[in-house]
Amino acid sequence: MEIITEKAYLRADGRKGIRNITLVVALVECARHVAEQIVRPYEEQGDVHLMVWSGCYPNDYSQKIISNIAKHPNTGAVLFVSLGCEGMNRTALAEMANNSGRWTETLVIQENGGTSSTIAKGRALIEQAKEVKKSFERVNMGMDELIVGTICGGSDATSGITANPAVGGAFDLMISRGARCIFEETGELIGCEERIRPRAINEEVGDALVKSIQKASYYYELMGHGSFAPGNADGGLTTVEEKSLGSYCKSGDSPISGVIAPGDIPEATGLYLMDVVPEGEPRFGFPNINDSSEIMELIASGSHIILFTTGRGSVVGSIVSPVIKVCANPKTYENLSEDMDINAGSILTGEKTLLQVSEEIVLKVEGLMKGEQSLSEALGHRESVLLYKGEMAQKTLCGM
């Protein structure tokens, strides 16, 4: 194994994390304030993160995402905060997290004296988690044990020329060294069906790739919108197809090994497309309401690190897994340099080649594996969004 870091955290399931996060999960919107206050004293320390599920009733999708992030290799401890009467099965979630080897506790507000008492107990439990997390063995970790996801947000006319192909090149470099890489957003691949099919490792995967893009096209047509924002037009993009070609570049040139759903974890080295559009008839306005919801799905599929390309600029980070910002536009980089990790706009100005920027991205990934922080991490960005997808709720829970 090619050793990149000797500081990875070995988990009971054999996976290795590059962070050792205590995850506090509010299991319903009613528990948000209490959970926020439990986390607040630890915000500057950076290793206690808050995740909120707002709904009262869960569905298969939400439980899968919460479960996978709670037992993510970057997660070392989990505290579930429940009001007490919501539909989410807190017992099953806690058993899952505990069985994965994470320190796990559950606080029920209705059983712990209310707001102030529960906050105090929650902070005491965070202190316990700190001590337990010190016991995780530190081990060697190589590129062949890493999962990396990528998304684009705030795209402009430079995105498909600089940042996106630079990430695609970085994917090719990392896959050649054994990594698993995930690109997503089938709604931003519309028009690329016949470009992407020949890259499939076999006919079955090729059919699945095309089907996933056609499903996204149908979804958007039926709902009356597409994955194209006013900011994209302001940035010089003219059509969904033009945006798709730029987005497609994030996938690089490696063969595509499979199509996965949010929360599916790729098991073998290679490149995977995440199909973000749920099966069945459309039930919601957007498959993903914003960039943070896409990041959460990539993390739920095991991504240790997220590569985020942007032309217009974005400042979001994430809980659990660090986000590397790859800026496409040199003017945007100049204006938002405190938030941008990589200046892919240097390709446009002639300062660097595409390959040099791809190699710079890989070096940044290796630095994060060794314990360095991305800029969004250092700035305290810990955004997370989790919404319903698929069926609204389990019929047995709703009494229907």
pLDDT tens digits along 183-208:
998 888 888 898 999 999 999 999 99
Q: What is the mean pLDDT of residues 37-65?
A: 94
Per-residue pLDDT at 251 exceeds 80: yes
Q: What is the pLDDT of residue 245?
A: 67
Range name among 9-13, 59-63, 171-175, 380-384 with the lowest pLDDT average: 59-63
Per-residue pLDDT at 63 exceeds 80: yes
- State the DSSP code for 249: G
397 — pLDDT class (breaks 50, 70, 90): very low
**Quick check: 26 and 70 in contact, CB under 8 A?**
no
- d(Cα 234, Cα 301) in Å, to the nearest integer? 33
Paired strand residues for 260: 274
pTM, whole model, 2 decimals?
0.93
CB-based contacts of 375: which residues, under 8 Å, 6+ apart?
325, 338, 339, 340, 341
395 — pLDDT class (breaks 50, 70, 90): very low
Range name among 56-60, 145-149, 369-373 with the lowest pLDDT average: 56-60
Per-residue pLDDT at 394 exceeds 90: no
Q: What is the pLDDT of residue 228?
A: 54
Q: What is the pLDDT of residue 219?
A: 86
Q: What is the mean pLDDT of residues 301-316?
A: 96
Q: What is the pLDDT of residue 154?
A: 82
Q: What is the pLDDT of residue 231?
A: 55
Q: What is the mean pLDDT of residues 326-333?
A: 97
Q: Which residue reads 């892919």 in tokens?
A: 344
- d(Cα 360, Cα 307) in Å, to the nearest integer? 12
Give the model confidence (pLDDT) of 97-132 as tens digits.
Answer: 999 999 999 999 999 999 999 999 999 999 999 999
Per-residue pLDDT at 135 exceeds 90: yes
What is the largest distance, in Å, between two alpha-carbon atoms of the chain?
A: 63
Give the model confidence (pLDDT) of 204-229 as tens digits.
Answer: 999 999 999 999 888 888 877 665 55
Q: What is the pLDDT of residue 281?
A: 79
Q: Is the dihedral of CA 109, 115, 117, 120 positive or negative?
A: positive
Q: What is the pLDDT of residue 187?
A: 84
Q: What is the pLDDT of residue 230?
A: 61
- How many whole angstroms from its chain centre is CA 210? 23
262: left (phi over 0), alpha (psi -120 to 50) or beta: beta
Per-residue pLDDT at 235 exceeds 60: no
- d(Cα 96, Cα 91) in Å, to the nearest integer? 9
Q: What is the pLDDT of residue 157?
A: 85
Token pair for 201: 């490792």
Range name among 18-27, 65-74, 388-397 with the lowest pLDDT average: 388-397
- How many whole angstroms from its chain centre is CA 324? 11
- To the nearest whole percent, how much of the chain has pLDDT over 70? 92
- d(Cα 251, Cα 274) in Å, to the nearest integer? 11
CB burial of 84-117 (b: ≥16 within 10 Å; e: otherwise) equals eebbbebeebbebbbebbbbbbbbbbeebeeeee
